[in-house]
């Protein structure tokens, strides 16, 4: 997981009308893959690229930066491959792809169906007919490392085909606090109670649009009883029994590593 601030190399801004002769372009295809030059660097022009739109999103490494979309069927680079080759570029790509997704997904008002327009001031799409506003969508989600002595609780998720065991995670429901979400997810999926809940770290997770909030907690009471839907199995692991992920891209791996380092 990257702990570097996105703002170390990036100055936030937004416009649909700004133009520049010296810029970086984050060009995505319909699979959310990023176009790079033959040297695996960001292109500095839109020559020979047929784009649907481009939006100015600020300055990256001191240079004007745009996000654009193309209908090209060419094979670009998946975000996970970007992470493996250039973590700084991946970090900025998470910003660019989420702005791209927002713009594509809110071309029409979800309330009345009219074509939306970009606000004159904010990064917001608004409906000129009914006044409904559409900001970029970010879905908060929790993930928690639960300890019992020198063991870590890990579960087999039904939607993880390639990961044997992972931490408990889930989306925050309307009306509940972040802390409520952790306790509810643990109770629903595993059937136990936890205590000493402690927030540790967060991560933007663009698969597709989550903000992951990482916690640790201690086992309190109850027996493991999986829901059989999202969670198929769950058990306690000592640190030398944990099967690591293939990549350290996620906050889940960061939480697991923290457990291993402190036990």
pLDDT in tens, 72-127: 878 799 999 999 999 999 999 999 999 999 999 999 999 999 999 999 989 999 99
Domain 139-261 has CATH 3.40.605.10: no
Q: What is the pLDDT of residue 217?
A: 98
Neighbours of 21 (CB within 10 A): 7
Segments of the chain with pLDDT less than 70: 162-163
Q: What is the pLDDT of residue 127?
A: 97
Q: What is the pLDDT of residue 85?
A: 94
List the alpha helices (DSSP H) in the chain: 79-85, 87-105, 178-190, 251-261
Angstrom distance (rounded) from CA 125 to CA 106: 7
Q: What is the pLDDT of residue 162?
A: 67
Contact (Cβ atoms closer than 8 angstroms) between residue 99 and residue 55: yes
Domains of the chain, residue spans: 6-105, 107-136, 139-261
- Label residue 38 exposed, middle or buried (CB < 10 Å: 0-12, 13-18, 19+): exposed
Cα separations (Å) of 85 from 82, 88, 221?
5, 9, 44
* pTM given for the model: 0.93
The class (CATH top level) of 6-105 is alpha beta
Matching fold, domains 6-105 and 139-261: yes
Question: Which of 201, 249, 193, 247 lies closest to 217 in space, CA to CA?
Answer: 193
Q: What is the pLDDT of residue 199?
A: 98
Q: What is the pLDDT of residue 30?
A: 92
Place of tokens 């891209």: 249
Angstrom distance (rounded) from CA 245 to CA 133: 40
Q: What is the pLDDT of residue 72?
A: 81
Contact (Cβ atoms closer than 8 angstroms) between residue 230 and residue 189: yes
Element (H, E) at 162: none
Give the N- to C-terminal CA distance of the chain in Å, as an integer. 20
């Amino acid at each position: 997981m990257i702990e570097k601030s996105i703002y170390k190399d990036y100055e936030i801004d937004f416009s649909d009308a700004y133009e520049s002769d010296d810029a970086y372009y984050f060009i995505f295809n319909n699979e959310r893959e990023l176009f790079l030059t033959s040297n695996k660097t960001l292109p500095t022009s839109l020559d020979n690229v047929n784009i649907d739109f481009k939006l100015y999103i600020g300055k990256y490494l001191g240079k004007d930066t745009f996000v654009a979309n193309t209908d090209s069927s060419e094979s670009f680079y998946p975000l996970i491959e970007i992470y493996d080759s250039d973590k700084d570029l991946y970090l900025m790509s998470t910003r660019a792809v989420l702005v791209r997704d927002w713009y594509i997904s809110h071309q029409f008002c979800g309330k009345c169906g009219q074509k939306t327009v970009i606000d004159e001031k904010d990064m917001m799409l608004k409906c000129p007919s009914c006044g409904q506003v559409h900001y970029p969508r970010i879905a908060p989600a929790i993930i928690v490392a639960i300890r019992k002595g020198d063991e870590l609780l890990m579960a087999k998720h039904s939607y993880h085909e390639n990961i044997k065991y992972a931490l408990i995670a889930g989306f925050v429901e309307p009306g509940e606090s972040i802390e409520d979400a952790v306790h509810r997810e643990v109770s629903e999926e595993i059937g136990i109670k936890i205590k000493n809940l402690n927030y540790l770290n967060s991560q933007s997770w663009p698969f597709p649009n989550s903000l992951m909030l990482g916690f640790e907690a201690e086992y309190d009471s109850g027996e493991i009883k999986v829901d059989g839907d999202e969670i198929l199995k769950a058990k306690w692991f000592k640190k030398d029994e944990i099967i690591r992920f293939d990549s350290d891209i996620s906050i889940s791996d960061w939480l697991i590593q923290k457990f291993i380092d402190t036990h």
